[in-house]
């Protein structure tokens, strides 16, 4: 594959794990890959597919957020059918970026408010237990300098009942500047282990935080020997969106969209 100009992204359960526009992460990766001279092919790894050979053909993976019931419905497939090939891929350096419910599914388990014990992949040494109050709102996170992100202040939106407890020695993705993060208490947000990043940030995450999109692309390119353009792209529009998100989050004000509606939109999702 040395010198090739294409990568393959495996999107895990895009139908079930797709809250708050997580699909935007796929679009951001495809677009930034193209700007960097790489064709990013997208493969769906859903409940009706994602056999080991398909997983082995991917350069890296994404999984989004979802409701408790959907997590429960797909956990068995994830752990038993996709788990071994996914673990192999990640241990050989394939990037895996997981958001919210997807992040919870990388740990040992998630115990829901209803009392269900949802098994996880065990790729990240951590566990998640439902809390009494949901952590909902805009969030700002100072990403760990070790990641070397061009812009380490991450912006996003969180809505989760789960409290994620990292085992000692598992570093968080960053420190919470505003918001709840892993547990609403410790100041930790997300987790990083080699080519695996888990986070509670929806938004969608990657269009608002292009440095993380580049982290995924460069990690996938390094692992596969793919030639990719690494110079800084023109992120004027992305930076404008980030500045507005940061302003809204720090001021605690409601977004313009909410104001235009004149009321908060009714969100009926519970998980
Ligand atoms: N169902 C999970 C929770 O409530 C994750 C929600 C999400 O992905 N936003 O904790």
58 alpha-carbon distance from chain centroid: 17
- Which ligand 1 atom is at minimum distance from the Cα of 71? 1
At 3 the pLDDT is 67
At 269 the pLDDT is 53
In this predicted model, what pLDDT tens digit does every residue of 171-227 receive, in sequence order? 999 999 999 999 999 999 999 999 999 999 998 999 999 999 999 999 999 999 999
pTM recorded for the entire structure = 0.92
Q: Return d(Cα 168, Cα 12) in angstroms, integer.
A: 28
Question: For residue 262, how far is its CA from the centre of ligand 1 (angstroms)?
Answer: 27
Residues 6+ apart with CB under 8 A from 230: 36, 218
User: Is the Cβ–Cβ distance between 31 and 233 less than 8 Å?
Assistant: no
**Residue whose pair of structure tokens reads 């992040």 in the numeric block:** 103
- Which ligand 1 atom is at minimum distance from the Cα of 64? 8
In this predicted model, what pLDDT tens digit does every residue of 149-164 receive, in sequence order? 989 999 999 999 999 9
Residue 83: φ, ψ to 5°: -55, -55
Site to probe by mutation for ligand 1, drawn from 13, 14, 23, 67 as the one with most ligand atoms within 8 Å of Cβ, is: 67
Question: For residue 225, how far is its CA from the centre of ligand 1 (angstroms)?
Answer: 35
Q: Return d(Cα 36, Cα 30) in angstroms, integer.
A: 10
202 catalytic residue (yes or no)? yes
Q: Return d(Cα 113, Cα 118) in angstroms, integer.
A: 11
The residue ranges of the chain whose pLDDT is under 70 are 1-3, 253-271
Least Cα distance to 103 among 87, 83, 127 occurs for 127
Annotated catalytic residue, options 76, 100, 109, 160: 100
109 catalytic residue (yes or no)? no
Q: Which residues have any ligand 1 atom within 6 Å of their CB?
A: 19, 65-68, 71, 100-101, 159-162, 271
State whether CATH 3.40.718.10 applies to domain 6-261. no
Question: For residue 5, how far is its CA from the centre of ligand 1 (angstroms)?
Answer: 36
User: Is the Cβ–Cβ distance between 159 and 66 less than 8 Å?
Assistant: no
Q: Return d(Cα 107, Cα 126) in angstroms, integer.
A: 5
């Amino acid at each position: 594959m040395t010198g090739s100009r294409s990568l393959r992204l495996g999107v895990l359960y895009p139908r079930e794990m797709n809250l708050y526009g997580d699909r935007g992460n796929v679009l951001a990766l495809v677009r930034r890959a193209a700007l960097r001279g790489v064709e990013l092919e997208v493969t769906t790894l859903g409940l009706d597919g994602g056999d080991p050979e398909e997983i082995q053909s991917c350069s890296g993976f994404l999984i989004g957020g979802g409701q408790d019931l959907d997590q429960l419905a797909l956990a068995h497939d994830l752990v038993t059918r996709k788990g071994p090939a996914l673990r192999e891929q990640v241990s050989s350096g394939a990037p895996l970026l997981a958001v919210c419910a997807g992040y919870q599914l990388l740990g040992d388990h998630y115990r829901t408010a209803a009392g269900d014990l949802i098994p996880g992949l065990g790729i990240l040494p951590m566990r998640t237990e439902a809390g009494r109050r949901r952590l909902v709102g805009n969030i700002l996170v100072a990403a760990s300098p070790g990641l070397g992100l061009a812009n380490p202040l991450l912006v996003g939106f969180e809505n989760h009942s789960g409290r994620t407890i990292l085992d000692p020695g598992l570093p968080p993705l960053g420190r919470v500047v505003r918001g709840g993060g892993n547990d609403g208490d410790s100041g930790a947000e997300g987790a990083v282990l080699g080519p695996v990043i888990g986070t509670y940030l929806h938004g969608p995450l990657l269009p608002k935080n292009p440095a993380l999109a580049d982290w995924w692309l460069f990690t996938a390119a390094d692992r596969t020997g793919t030639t990719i353009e690494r110079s800084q792209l023109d992120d004027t529009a992305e930076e404008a969106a980030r500045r507005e998100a940061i302003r809204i989050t720090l001021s605690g004000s409601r977004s313009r969209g909410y104001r235009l509606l004149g009321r908060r939109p009714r969100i009926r999702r519970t998980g």
